[in-house]
Chains A and B, each alone.
Chain A
Amino acid sequence: MELSGGEIVVQSLIDEEVEFLFGYPGGAVLHLYDAIFHQQQVKHILVRHEQGAVHAADAYARSTGKPGVVLVTSGPGATNAVTGIATAHLDSIPMVIISGQVGTPVIGTDAFQEVDMVGITRPCVKHNFLVKNIADLAETMKKAFYVATTGRPGPVVVDVPKDVTDPSIKIPYVYPEEVVMRSYNPIIKGHSGQIKKAVDLLLNAKRPMIYSGGGVVLGEGSAELIEFSKLLEFPVTSTLMGLGAYPATDEQFVGMLGMHGTYEANMSMHESDVIIAIGARFDDRVTGKLEEFCPYAKFIHIDIDPSSISKTIQVDVPIVGQVTEVLREMIVLIKSSNIVMDQKALEAWWSQVNKWRDLHCLEYDRNSDIIKPQHVVEQLYEVTNGEAYITSDVGQHQMFAAQFYHFDKPRRWINSGGLGTMGFGLPAALGVKLAHPDSDVACITGEASIQMCIQELATATQYRTPVKVINLNNRYMGMVRQWQEFSYESRYSESYMDTIPDFVKLAEAYGHVGMQIEKPADVRPALEEAFAMKERLVFMDFLTDRTENVFPMIEAGKSHHDMKLRSPSDKELS
């Protein structure tokens, strides 16, 4: 088979069984778009802004485990994609981003729509390639998918100059079955000696904790995590990125940890004597003040990336390996071990953990006559039976979503944790809905975030992706306002927008259904009505309490046992 460069790129996507290509055309990729026109296997999704393409493909990847694929043109198309690429990079999401480039003869001459894409993206990709020769194209595509999806996943950029895709130059096409890269060999199996040490430590623990992270989701380790945790009967906490890998409704789950984690999760971490971190990277939102993080604990850390280990916190038993492999090996060892666990200590530990739980740190005022954002998320959880895919933007609404939608399965909670990219939620919801057309998909957002990628409402019209937008409209950049309230004596500098669009009309202008909900009593019926409209995108504008804050909160530079809690007058303890 003789193919042009443009056809080789498209054929390689077909060979990789890519379902959707999220993109936006332009001069440098016209040959490529012509090749797309001539085939049916890969469905192109035309977004309204390249950032939306990357977020949608990223969320497709997060919700399926398959790589997300993007095509953008050179110059402004490429730079528009960068925020999305950085978002995927910080959360370790497998993606292949193909960017057009000016022709090889003019590279470096400040040609029309030229930017050094390989240079610009170097710090925010797992790897990138500039393909200067058509003969390297197929193999580079193979390498891109291989690197993106193996080891610690991440985005890979393939920059393709226009002349390399010239339709008049054809070469024989062979897509490599596999690639071997002498410089890249991800470690899969953990070190047996270390695993044994870890198991000994775990079985002798008196106040143990399981601290699970996004790596369990990325590595498909949910089943192993559950078996491991059930075997040991230890309390389980999760990072924002790990939510769903361990069922939130299970008795052993003590909620999210970190800055807006639960009282019980953070106190348990603080007092714990043995902590096993599984696919979690001791992020600063989790640790708070490093010197005071878990002062009594010995740490075991399972991670596929050696550089995640002992990066911020020195650990005692590092285990480099794929989460499923390592957990399986641990499970076997635990089952065959003759160490007798200190049941008395463990019972005492659980009763302490339950005491912290009894504080009900997430309680809020349920009698308010203004809609509380927590109430909306709780009702959403009930109306969707806890089974929806939830995407989110960034801000207070994101934290309320994480705290009040109890994810029982992995890959259902889709949010930008590492970069915290406002604008992620809506395009992400579209990517998820395309992947899971028969499931409920809701985007929990805020009136500021939603405006950052609002143009994708048009994409939703074109591809009939009937997601539900849950706009927790507090007329503030709530998260910013909260910090200003606590740390800047309520000087709300620029955290308020003087004009906010009429979201109902806006939704209608795009051909969708818009609703505005003002009263707590209307929340439930409105949600039911919206979710009954299976074929429609419904934009639900909930006017929520302007002054609501997210609690608990560990303020910057504070440690886990030093949490700011909602004042008792603010909540009605049930």
Chain B
Amino acid sequence: MRHIISILIENEAGALSRVAGLFSARGYNIESLTVAPTEDETLSRMTVVTGGSDRVIEQITKQLNKLIDVVKLIDLVESTHVERELMMVKVKTSNETREEVKRLSDIFRGKIIDVTSASYVIEMTGVSDKLDAFVAALDDESVIEVLRSGPMGMSRGEKGLHL
């Protein structure tokens, strides 16, 4: 099953490689990994999307917690949560297709953030499935580049992942 593990980690040089190294050394898979500093600049927040049986996920969270730099973590899938992923898609456009692509982007609440005579860059956020659906709806031939951030998420309600 797919799990989204959200980690608060000391914002130190090498923190990212400790997490990435753990996954490769123990043979756990990483679907995506995002990392950025938080409002407290001594801390980073990482989101790892991974998969595996309950036992594997239990080991992953235990092993992550064991890293000395990890302050806290939660598996978002264990409670209700919201998640979003950012995507940018560059598509070829021509006089005939320009309108059609724009309409499709509107339906998916995308934003066109760059326009040339022959291309659009479309920005879109949403759950990963929605982004998949948008890419699938585009004509394969027209897609120049797809760039995705990997999902990140937060639990619903007033509780949060902080110190």
- A binding-site residues for B, Cβ under 8 Å: 118-119, 122-123, 126-127, 130, 147, 181-184, 305-307, 310-311, 314
Contacts and interface: CB of A to CB of B under 8 A. Distances in A.
A118 B63 contact: no
B163 interface: yes
Nearest to B68: A127
A130 B14 CA distance: 10
Contact of B69 (A130, A183, A310): A183
A541 to B, nearest CB: 41
B10 to A, nearest CB: 6
Contacts of A147: 68
B13 A311 contact: no
A127 B69 CA distance: 9
A183 B62 contact: no
B26 to A, nearest CB: 9
A181 B62 CA distance: 18
A301 to B, nearest CB: 13
Contacts of B65: 306-307
Given A118-B14, A122-B17, A181 B59 contact: no
A147 B17 CA distance: 20
A156 to B, nearest CB: 9
A161 to B, nearest CB: 13
Nearest to B26: A123
Contact of B55 (A118, A123, A307, A310): A310
Given A183-B9, A183-B69, A184-B68, 10 more contacts: A119-B17, A122-B17, A126-B68, A130-B13, A147-B68, A182-B163, A306-B62, A306-B65, A307-B62, A307-B65
B59 A311 contact: yes
Contacts of A311: 59
Interface string B1-15: 000000001100110
Contacts, number: 36
Contacts of A126: 68
Contacts of A122: 14, 17-18, 21
Contacts of A127: 68
A305 B66 contact: yes
Contacts of B66: 305-307
B25 interface: yes
Contact of A314 (B17, B25, B55, B69): B55
Contact of B68 (A118, A123, A183, A306): A183
Contacts of A183: 9-10, 68-71
Contacts of A184: 68
B21 A123 contact: yes
B14 A181 contact: no
B28 to A, nearest CB: 13
A243 B32 CA distance: 44
7 tightest Cβ-Cβ pairs between the two chains A and B: A307-B62, A127-B68, A183-B71, A306-B62, A123-B25, A184-B68, A307-B66
Contacts of A305: 66
A310 B55 CA distance: 8
Interface in B104-143: none
Nearest to B18: A122
Interface string B67-98: 01111000000000000000000000000000
Contacts of B18: 122
Contacts of A306: 62, 65-66
Contacts of B9: 183
Nearest to A127: B68
22 contacts: A118-B14, A119-B17, A122-B17, A122-B18, A122-B21, A123-B21, A123-B25, A126-B68, A130-B14, A147-B68, A181-B68, A182-B71, A182-B163, A183-B68, A305-B66, A306-B62, A306-B65, A306-B66, A307-B59, A307-B63, A307-B65, A311-B59
Contacts of B62: 306-307
A181 B71 CA distance: 9
A478 to B, nearest CB: 32
B18 to A, nearest CB: 6
A183 to B, nearest CB: 4
A127 B13 CA distance: 13
B100 interface: no
B58 interface: yes
Nearest to A307: B62
Interface in B18-55: 18, 21, 25, 55
A150 B9 CA distance: 20
A147 B58 CA distance: 24
Nearest to A147: B68
Contacts of B10: 183
B52 to A, nearest CB: 14
Contacts of A310: 55, 58
Contacts of A119: 17
Contacts of A123: 21, 25
Nearest to B66: A307
Interface string B133-156: 000000000000000000000000
A381 to B, nearest CB: 39
Contacts of B63: 307
B145 to A, nearest CB: 31
A465 to B, nearest CB: 35
A123 B21 CA distance: 7
A3 B18 CA distance: 32
